[in-house]
Chains A and B, each alone.
Chain A
C-alpha cells in the first residue's frame, strides 16, 4: 500500500463533455478479456448506432456494437490499446447523422426476472469498465449466492477522474443500476466504496443511499481499488488464495459498469460509449469526455489540445497499470478509462541500478510478497524460485516498482515470468 500523488486536479472539476465522433471509426471486435466475438457484418453493410456487429463467441466473450450510424468500409487488423493488433470494423460515419441513440420506450423493469435482466446485460455487451474488461454477465452469475455487491468507486489510479465525474453527474442512475445488479445477484448488502479524496461524491451518494444500499468511505491509498484489496477494506476478509471473489461472498463491479447496466436495462442502450479522462502535462485543455468506442485517441488529444509540448509517453489507463502506446491511431474501447499525454518531465525513462534490499517494496506490497526477491528470481528466469515467492499471487499493481529507489523493473520481470510459467 502506498500513498500516491493524486494529480486529479486538472480534470476533477471538469463536467463530462460529449466528444462528437470523427468520420472514421475503428471498432475492435475484442474489447474485453476473453475470446474474439463472432462477426455479424461485412464490408459495405450499413449499420446504425447501437447495432450489434459481433456476438459473443466462445466463453468468455462479449458482444460488440457499432457506436455510430454509417457504412462498414472494411474489416481489417488495426491498432488495439491492449492487444497491440486486433481485427476491427472500420466504419465511415454518415455526417450529419442521427447521433443520438433512440431510447426504447420505458419498460417495466421491476417485473423482469433476474435471468431476463442478465440476458439484457449480456446482449448489451457489458464488460468490466475498470480496466480488466471481464464480461459482466459471467461475473453476475456466480456459482454460489453472494451476500454483498461492492460498487467500485475507489478510482485509486492517479490522474483519472472519469468514475468520479460519473458519480457526481449520474448518481441517481448509478444507484438504480446498483440496486438492479444487487437484485440479479440476490445480494442483501450493496456497498458503494469511494476513496476519501472524493468527499463530494461520498456526500452526494450518502444523501441518496437507502434500503440495502450503503456508502463506504475508504482511505485513499494505492491499490485501494484493486478487487481483492477492496473486498478486504469493505468486508474485512480476504479472497482465499487462488480463488475468485465470490468465494469471499462478494462481487465487485466498477461504477462505470453499473451505470452502463442502468442504461442497458432502463434505456435499452448497449455499451458503445464511455467517459474517458484525457489529461497530462502536454494538454492545454484536459477534460472528461463522453467518447464512442472506436474513436482514435488522436481525436481526443486534438479536442483537448493544443499540445503544450511534444508528448514522450501516451498511456491508456492510469499511470500505475495503464499501457503505453506506440501511436495515436489506437481506438478507445470499453475499458479505456483514461488517456494520459505526458511530456519530458513526467514521461522520461529512469535508469535501473542494483537492488539494495532496502525493503520499501516489501512494505508497500498489499499482497504480502517480497517483491525484490520475486523480481530477482523472475528476472533470472528462475521460475520455481519465483513461484515459491508467490509469482501467481502478484497483482502487478506496480506499487513496488513505484517506490523502488533502484528503479528496478519489477512488474516487467514478473509479467514476463508469468507468461513463461503459463507456457
Chain B
C-alpha cells in the first residue's frame, strides 16, 4: 500500500464547504426575487438576466483562456456577478447594456485586479456605476409592473421630484408592485433568500443589520417635517437598499474580515446611503454608498484586527 499513500500537511479533515457551494447558494437565494422581477416586468426582464449572466460567463472564460489560467466558470462567481448586475438594471434596457455591463464587471471590475478575491470594488456595482455614468437615460427609465410597459418612476425618484408617494402602500413596496430595477423590487423575495443565507451561514448579521439600522434611523430623524418625522419604513422598503444590504454589501471580497470591521462598514454604508438619498443629487444611494465603503474596506481591516491571545485585556 506504501506507494499510494497521500502525504500532506495537517489538517487532514475538512468542513464540507467550498467556494462553488457558497456562490451557487447565494445565486439560489436570489432566485425568488428574480422570479418576482420576471413576473412583474415580463420576459424583457428574463432577457436582461440571461444576457448579463451569459456575458459574464463568456468574459470570464475568454480572459482566463487569454491569460492561460485555469477556467473557473463552475465556481459560480462569474454567474453570480452577472446575476447581481442584471438585478440592478431596469427591465427595459436594450440588451447590449447588460452585455457591456457584464463585460465591464468581469474584465475591469475583477480580472484586471487578478481575478477572484483580489478586486477592491464589487464588480456588479462597479459595472452599474459605469453604465449609470455612460447611459444615464437608459438606466433611469423604469417601467411599471405589468406587461403593458407603461413608463414609471420609482418611489424614490417620485419622492425626489416632489410627487406624492401615497400611491404606494407598504404592502406594494414589500411585494414589489412598484417601478424599479429587476431584482430590487420584491422585498419579500429578497428577505426569503436572506433567511436562507443566514441559515446556511453564508452571511452574518453584522453588515445587513448595521446597514439597515443606520439608514432607517437617519431617515426617521431627518424627516420632511422636522426632526423625528421621517417615514423610515418607506425608505427601507424602497430602492435597492434590501438587495444592497443583504447581497451586495456582504460580498466577502470587498467587505472587512472581522465582525468589528463589518459593523463599521455596515454603518458607513447606511450613513452614505441616507446622505445621498436625503441631500444628494440622486434619488438612490445604495450603489455609490457600497462602492465608497468598498474603497475604505482595506483601511478598516487594518484598524480592526482582533486581539491576539495573550496580549492586551481579555474581554
The residue on A at minimum CB distance from B305 is: A370
Q: How far is the CA of A276 from the CA of B256 in the complex (A)?
A: 44
Residues of A within 8 A of B253 (CB): 356-357
Task: Say yes or no: is A405 at the interface (Cβ < 8 Å to chain B).
Answer: yes
Most central of B18, B75, B252, B257 by chain A CB within 10 Å = B257
- Contact assessment for B314 and A356 in the assembled complex, using a CB-CB cutoff below 8 Å: no
CB distance from A381 to the nearest CB of B (A): 17
Binary CB contact string for chain B from 286 to 315 against chain A (1 if under 8 A, 0 otherwise)? 000000000000000100011111110010
Residues of A within 8 A of B68 (CB): none
Q: How far is the CA of A340 from the CA of B11 in the complex (A)?
A: 13
- Contact assessment for B12 and A315 in the assembled complex, using a CB-CB cutoff below 8 Å: yes
Interface residues of B in 55-92 (CB under 8 A from A): 72, 75, 77
The residue on B at minimum CB distance from A403 is: B15
Q: Taking chain A's interface residues, is the majority helix, strand, or loop, or is none over half, making it mixed?
A: loop
- Contact assessment for B6 and A402 in the assembled complex, using a CB-CB cutoff below 8 Å: no
Tally chain A residues at the interface, Cβ within 8 Å. Answer: 69
Task: Say yes or no: is B10 at the interface (Cβ < 8 Å to chain A).
Answer: yes
Residues of A within 8 A of B11 (CB): 319-321, 398, 401-402, 411
Contact A324 B1, CB 8 Å, known A357-B117, A406-B19: no
Cross-interface CB contact of B5 among A326, A350, A401, A409, cutoff 8 Å: A326
- Contact assessment for A390 and B12 in the assembled complex, using a CB-CB cutoff below 8 Å: no
- Contact assessment for B115 and A354 in the assembled complex, using a CB-CB cutoff below 8 Å: yes
Residues of A within 8 A of B19 (CB): 353-354, 356, 405-406
Most central of B1, B18, B77, B306 by chain A CB within 10 Å = B1
Binary CB contact string for chain B from 1 to 33 against chain A (1 if under 8 A, 0 otherwise)? 110111111111111011101100000000000
Task: Say yes or no: is A347 at the interface (Cβ < 8 Å to chain B).
Answer: yes
- Contact assessment for A367 and B309 in the assembled complex, using a CB-CB cutoff below 8 Å: yes
Q: How far is the CA of A283 from the CA of B117 in the complex (A)?
A: 41
- Contact assessment for A314 and B307 in the assembled complex, using a CB-CB cutoff below 8 Å: no
Q: How far is the CA of A405 from the CA of B126 in the complex (A)?
A: 25
The residue on B at minimum CB distance from A314 is: B5
Task: Say yes or no: is A238 at the interface (Cβ < 8 Å to chain B).
Answer: yes
Q: How far is the CA of A240 from the CA of B309 in the complex (A)?
A: 8
The residue on A at minimum CB distance from B115 is: A354
Task: Say yes or no: is B258 at the interface (Cβ < 8 Å to chain A).
Answer: yes
Beyond A326-B5, A350-B14, A370-B258, list 20 extra A-B contacts (CB 8 Å).
A228-B309, A239-B309, A241-B311, A242-B310, A310-B1, A313-B12, A320-B13, A323-B10, A353-B72, A356-B253, A357-B117, A360-B17, A362-B258, A369-B308, A370-B301, A396-B10, A401-B11, A401-B14, A402-B11, A405-B22
A-B contact pairs, 21 of them (CB 8 A): A4-B13, A239-B309, A313-B5, A319-B11, A324-B7, A325-B7, A326-B2, A326-B5, A349-B8, A356-B116, A356-B117, A358-B252, A362-B257, A367-B308, A368-B306, A393-B308, A398-B11, A401-B14, A406-B117, A407-B18, A411-B9
